[in-house]
Amino acid sequence: MSNALLQLTGVTKTFGGIHALSGMVCEVPEGKIVGVIGPNGAGKTTLFNTITGAYRADAGEVKLKGVDVTQWPSYRIVREGIARTFQNIRLFGSMTVWEHLLVAQPHSESAWRRLLPISWANPAAQARAEEVMEFFGLTELRDRPAKSLPYGIQRKVEMARAVTARPKLLLLDEPVAGMNHDEAEEIRALMIRLRDTGLTILLIEHDMNFVMRLCDYLYVLDFGVLIAEGRPEDVRTNPVVLDAYLGKDD
Amino acid sequence: MSTYYASLLAESGILLLGALSVYIILATGQLSLGNGAFMGIGAYLSSYLTVALNVPLTLALVIAAIAAGIIGAIVAFPALRLKGIYLAMATVGFGEMVRSFFLNFDAMGGSGGYRGMQHISVGYVWLWAGGILIAVMLLERSRVWLEMQAVHDDETAAGLIGLNTTVTKIGAFGAGAAVAAISGGLFAHHNVYIEPANFGFDRSIEFVLAVILGGSTVGPGSLVGSLLLVFLPEFLRPIADWRLAAFGTLLILVLLVRRQGILDRSLIRTLTFRRAAA
């Protein structure tokens, strides 16, 4: 894949003696939805944390559009174009939905303008927040404290917050965990609409059915090692993957 | 207005600035118990400038604020690695360090104190206090303030959504120190005499108290807290020896009933007759 947006080569992360990730290689092509699956403790979230700079990789390279971002601090990686959500939702307790949509936007204005009231000085940021709020169907909830909202909606707010930063690549860590079928379907539809706007998505998910119907390509991790990759229909029948999920039949 | 009330009013204006200096730093989730030291730096530096170098007072205050802001930003660097109670302890240490520096700084009187400043009116004090309060209230509606809140609520998440948390925390410390220095400069020129004991630990605590009592989630809370802290003990004078005990009891009651302090977002909305957000 020459048109890879994100490219990982030999990314390794160890905690003490534990190899959370060893020699991870993967590519995320532009405009696709790519999934990372694997049993609990396979290193999926570690992978996300390493890509976004929450952890420093011990070895290997993370490249976004050919730019090596491996050792960058998180905030620079986000500004370069990788935004994310979290497995356990991390919204800001003191902020409304509207404020969440303003806070994560990249700095297009000068530093002085950022010190002035938003309503005077940042029309562009407001327009962007308005646009994203509408896209995610959050307009009604604009002034509600985000943490007071139902779980499924909190997930949407978190996705919306990430999208306001105008990322090239969106990382979603278990976006439908704990959701019922209808809520999950809604998120799936949102992701497809986001992809259609040109956004590339890399997601972690446990729910195999969900992933199979959504992703264009899959990577399968087990004990920090990439054990399989391919299109969903190929991965589904891959014996190595079945072993990892269901246990070996000795 | 009697000189008695004028001096109380000036005192509360000076306290308001001290409270705001704590409030700005607290907005990023950092508790400083050493802002009395920044106040002292502002007091000594501005007094030296006006007395020894004949610099006009307003300019002297600005210079003192900038100098203290730089010192505050430098202090914030080691503080970046500390959180919660550990950070608070480190700022106590910094406060004591500065106080003992002035105690031994014989060029400006050491323990004997420093005098010779021109007296300023209560109006001048409130010009600064009111101006900075309004500036803080405008800042509260800005992008920068949202970033500070994000760092306050969840620092890790703030970094991972693209905010430079280091700059935010250092900036808040620098700005807080600058405001504390103005408070100190006004204190020095209102009292026309300063000594190191004016800027000790109890001063730092007084600032924090004004913020917590008045409301630690909104800027005007500092105003309410400062006025209460200065005037309430005076109004309680009729009960003579018991007034500080009564004051302490009131304080504990307020904090038990309203952990966020007297003023918060919803109370402000009610008071200004704005429709509450559902």
Of A113, A114, A116, the CB nearest to B138: A116
φ/ψ of A64, rounded to 5, equals: -110, 115
Comparing A245 with B252, which gets the higher pLDDT? B252
**Is beta strand A225-230 parallel, antiparallel or unpaired with respect to A59-64?**
unpaired
Binding-site residues on chain B for chain A (CB distance < 8 A): 138-139, 141-144, 146-147, 149-150, 152-154, 156-165, 217, 277-278
The C-alpha of B28 sits at a distance from chain A's nearest C-alpha, in angstroms, of: 12
Dihedral sign for Cα B56, B59, B65, B69, please. Answer: negative
d(CA A123, CA B102): 48
Best CA proximity match to A226, nearest among A238, A216, A208, A210: A238
Of B144, B149, B159, the CB nearest to A95: B149
pLDDT band of residue B266 (cuts 50, 70, 90) is: confident
pLDDT tens column, A145-199 = 999 999 999 999 999 999 999 999 999 999 998 888 898 999 999 999 999 999 9
Q: Write out chain A residues lying below 8 Å of B160, CB-based.
A: 52-54, 74, 78, 84, 86, 90
**What confidence score (pLDDT) does residue A249 get?**
59
The C-alpha of A116 sits at a distance from chain B's nearest C-alpha, in angstroms, of: 5
- Is 3.40.50.300 the CATH number for A1-81+167-250? yes
Q: In what order do the strands lie in the sheet with A59-64?
A: A18-29, A4-15, A59-64, A67-68
Instruction: Note whether residue B141 is domain-resident.
Output: yes
The C-alpha of B138 sits at a distance from chain A's nearest C-alpha, in angstroms, of: 6
Six-digit token string for A153: 């909606």
Q: Which DSSP symbol is given to A106?
A: -
Q: Once rounded to an integer, what is the mean pLDDT over residues B223-228?
A: 95
With left for phi above 0 and alpha for psi between -120 and 50, is residue A38 left, alpha or beta? left
Q: What is A210-242 written as a DSSP string?
A: HHHHH-SEEEEEETTEEEEEE-HHHHHT-HHHH
Q: Is B157–A86 a contact, with Cβ atoms under 8 angstroms apart? A: yes
Six-digit token string for A249: 């039949």
pLDDT tens column, B127-184 = 999 999 999 999 999 999 999 999 999 999 999 999 999 999 999 999 999 999 999 9
The C-alpha of A139 sits at a distance from chain B's nearest C-alpha, in angstroms, of: 13
**What confidence score (pLDDT) does residue B274 get?**
64
The C-alpha of B31 sits at a distance from chain A's nearest C-alpha, in angstroms, of: 17
Dihedral sign for Cα A74, A77, A78, A83, please. Answer: negative
Of A74, A92, A96, the CB nearest to B150: A92
pLDDT at A250 over 70: no
d(CA A120, CA B135): 14
d(CA A229, CA A220): 6
Q: Once rounded to an integer, what is the mean pLDDT over residues A82-108?
A: 91
**What confidence score (pLDDT) does residue B138 get?**
95
- Say how far residue B157 (Cα) sits from the centre of its chain: 28
Decide: B262 and B225 in contact? Cβ < 8 Å: yes
Q: Is B277–A118 a contact, with Cβ atoms under 8 angstroms apart? A: no
The C-alpha of B259 sits at a distance from chain A's nearest C-alpha, in angstroms, of: 15
pLDDT band of residue B275 (cuts 50, 70, 90) is: low
Q: Once rounded to an integer, what is the mean pLDDT over residues A97-117?
A: 86
Q: Which DSSP symbol is given to B83?
A: -
How many residues comprise chain B?
Answer: 278
Instruction: Note whether residue B259 is domain-resident.
Output: no
Binding-site residues on chain A for chain B (CB distance < 8 A): 52-54, 73-75, 78-79, 83-84, 86, 90, 92-96, 99, 102-107, 109, 113-119, 121-122, 125, 143-144, 161-162, 165
Q: Is B162–A78 a contact, with Cβ atoms under 8 angstroms apart? A: yes
Give the mutation candidate from A91, A92, A120, A170 for the B interface (greatest B CB count, under 10 A): A92
pLDDT band of residue A248 (cuts 50, 70, 90) is: low
**What confidence score (pLDDT) does residue B245 get?**
84
Of B146, B217, B277, the CB nearest to A103: B146
Decide: A190 and A159 in contact? Cβ < 8 Å: yes
Instruction: Note whether residue B122 is domain-resident.
Output: yes
Q: Is B163–A90 a contact, with Cβ atoms under 8 angstroms apart? A: no
Instruction: Note whether residue B109 is domain-resident.
Output: yes
Q: Is A118–B147 a contact, with Cβ atoms under 8 angstroms apart? A: no
**What confidence score (pLDDT) does residue B278 get?**
39
Of A74, A83, A92, the CB nearest to B149: A92
Decide: A64 and A82 in contact? Cβ < 8 Å: yes
Domain count, chain B: 1
Q: Once rounded to an integer, what is the mean pLDDT over residues A47-75?
A: 93
Instruction: Note whether residue B162 is domain-resident.
Output: yes
- Residue of chain B whose Cα is closest to the Cα of A120: B142
Query: Domain of B169?
Result: 3-199
Q: Report the amino acid identity of residue A51.
A: I
**What confidence score (pLDDT) does residue B269 get?**
83
The C-alpha of A215 sits at a distance from chain B's nearest C-alpha, in angstroms, of: 24
pLDDT at B271 over 90: no
The C-alpha of A143 sits at a distance from chain B's nearest C-alpha, in angstroms, of: 6
ipTM of the predicted structure? 0.90
With left for phi above 0 and alpha for psi between -120 and 50, is residue A23 left, alpha or beta? left
Instruction: Note whether residue B126 is domain-resident.
Output: yes
Q: Is A122–B161 a contact, with Cβ atoms under 8 angstroms apart? A: no
Instruction: Note whether residue B171 is domain-resident.
Output: yes
Decide: B152 and B28 in contact? Cβ < 8 Å: yes
d(CA B115, CA B195): 9
Give the mutation candidate from B143, B145, B274, B275 for the A interface (greatest A CB count, under 10 A): B143
- Residue of chain A whose Cα is closest to the Cα of B160: A74
**Is beta strand A169-173 parallel, antiparallel or unpaired with respect to A200-204?**
parallel
Residue intervals in chain A for CATH 3.40.50.300 = 1-81+167-250
Q: Is B162–A94 a contact, with Cβ atoms under 8 angstroms apart? A: no
Instruction: Note whether residue B215 is domain-resident.
Output: no
Q: Is A75–B144 a contact, with Cβ atoms under 8 angstroms apart? A: no
